[in-house]
Structure 1
């Protein structure tokens, strides 16, 4: 069996930046969810994305949860959310006993369709919040989405879990809305093993998020709790990994773009193949190189052929309104997301891939057209 090619796996820096910070945490015995690395990672990430304040948390899911709580989303409230996303975007809505309404994608961005969003506002004018996702590192149409949301005076959370290093009109995704969320899960463009970050210009709300994330411990000599809290604070060890990873973010983005362009040059002329959208105002990180197939070769054919060669690939996210757990909730749109799921596939986009690895993927795929 040939060596496995992964979809997207952790990639530590060659320079060993991460170990320097982790060693410092061990040497100083600061391995709990407190310490210099946590504080500095928050500052460094906020500076990197040009946001004012940040809270380092255990996951991007936790960050979405606390953003919803900060907005005041509660039982019975409606939250708009794209249907084409991972369930981690939606689950925190349920944590708050709120009701998701799923919004379709558009073909231009693969993300939330502004027209469908407008229709949803007409149907549900009492909506409490909107979550926008930047899928696979592609920017949503933030000008149109923010214009609509501001007109209705509704708070916006950007799920930028997949789009650190992606820019919309020169501005980092995750910094347009009231709250931005980043993920450092093991498969993301940089990782802390597991972890996330909540960013905002609202210093008071970020401070409150940190408070909730540390079990809502009041300032008292004894353990005093006047609010519900969560164990959501990032550890000082994981934050050390994140600080080291942040130093190589640009390198990782450059490699992701290289992989995408390699695939596109070699595969886009094949019958029925279309790659993820390319917009002038979007500078994606190409977290996962994704394409759609609308000919005789189907996504399952590609995935099975790659699997035989010990190469990992995945379908595009199955829309949330098609998921058994979420099928009771409303969906607004024309089923663009359904078609993307039916026809889409994510190719290996691991930043440790060599040119030989990429060529191995390409040769396997081309063989399906022979």
Structure 2
């Protein structure tokens, strides 16, 4: 059958209910459509209550949150910032905004996140070269918690502050504690494809009240206290709007339901594809962790199957099913060709062998069977 004979199955589309309308209607009735308002304050409270963070600043994107977080950690021109290579470019771009240099670190094979062994190697080598890393960016890829115990121990040993990029990981936990709250600063993204969306948006969380105040100040063009417009430092137009925050409030009412559904989708794929030779749904959760399973991902073993991820992706397209390669490591991107890298073979291998499957929380069993049937057709 032709791809147009099927409705499109997207990778991770927004999943809205009617909860969002309650907040949007209220904002419009009260004429609170300006950048600030009750929804914005309420959304920040919701995030704090859910994560346990003391302070939250709602922003226009997760990228903006990383940018401000790095500023709070004192990153500036000439500094180096440790960062995983296996992540979306938005993790590293804000480092360059500030005139600093990312130092990329390879993944480990269990969670696909930052490898503690390669991290130690990177820190010690940078110190030997006379460069003390200004900060460490930790990412929880596809919602899977990184090996935080080992990573945080290294950061403490070398006195390097941690910015936790939990953009993909709202609802994930490490040893029962919500991700995003282990670093000096944490970041979540609410882009349209995330498990919770505000159309576009993100938040910065921290337990430091002064940092939260500073982030709000910078996010609103760094306007000084005065009756006129006065500015003593560079600011940014980064604040989330009251309307979009209303969408976020409605979404937050359903966050645990959304996590439950994504985890069920992952379990379905794992069970239904277990008999496919050369294919493995991965990574597996480590003991004490809970992944929100934002996206279900798989690996193909070239020693057991001749099918490549690209062949599988193109076959799914013939069934009008969207899939996507795993993140291309940043050290392989033209943008960062000259950037320092420690390791690289693990994340490069994952990129070469991996694919993301449709994982939206509105998927039905019919949708899931359509995906797994299409996989069985070619594998």
TM-score norm. by structure 2 comes to 0.96
| Selected match of 2:297 from 283, 290, 298 | 290
1:91 correspondence with 2:93: yes
Alignment of 1:272-311 (within 5 A): 272-278=278-284, 279-294=286-301, 295-311=305-321
Q: How many residues align?
A: 367
Q: 1:200 corresponds to which residue? A: 206
Give the superposition deviation at 1:144.
0.4
| Selected match of 2:347 from 330, 337, 345 | 337
Alignment of 1:80-229 (within 5 A): 80-125=82-127, 126-229=132-235
CA distance in 2, matches of 1:301, 1:271: 16
Give the superposition deviation at 1:85.
0.3
SS of 1:181's equivalent in the other structure is strand
SS of 1:56's equivalent in the other structure is strand
SS of 1:124's equivalent in the other structure is helix
CA distance in 1, matches of 2:361, 2:77: 42
- Structure 1 stretches of 4+ with a deviation exceeding 4 A read none
CA distance in 1, matches of 2:319, 2:344: 37
Q: 1:59 corresponds to which residue? A: 61
Once superposed, what is the RMSD of the aligned Cα atoms?
0.7
Q: 1:41 corresponds to which residue? A: 43
SS of 2:56's equivalent in the other structure is strand
CA distance in 1, matches of 2:347, 2:278: 18
CA distance in 1, matches of 2:183, 2:135: 11
CA distance in 2, matches of 1:86, 1:33: 28
SS of 1:143's equivalent in the other structure is helix
SS of 2:280's equivalent in the other structure is strand
Give the superposition deviation at 1:225.
0.2
1:5 correspondence with 2:9: yes
Give the superposition deviation at 1:119.
0.3
CA contact (8 A) 2:139 2:165 kept: yes
Give the superposition deviation at 1:351.
1.2
- Measured against aligned partners, the alpha-carbon deviations of 1:34-59 in whole angstroms (never above 9, x if no partner) come to 11111111111011011110000000
CA distance in 1, matches of 2:365, 2:112: 28
Give the superposition deviation at 1:334.
4.5
Give structure 2 stretches of 5+ with no counterpart. Answer: none
Give the superposition deviation at 1:277.
2.2
CA distance in 1, matches of 2:280, 2:120: 28
Alignment of 1:216-255 (within 5 A): 216-255=222-261
CA distance in 2, matches of 1:347, 1:27: 40
CA distance in 2, matches of 1:281, 1:334: 27
SS of 2:211's equivalent in the other structure is helix
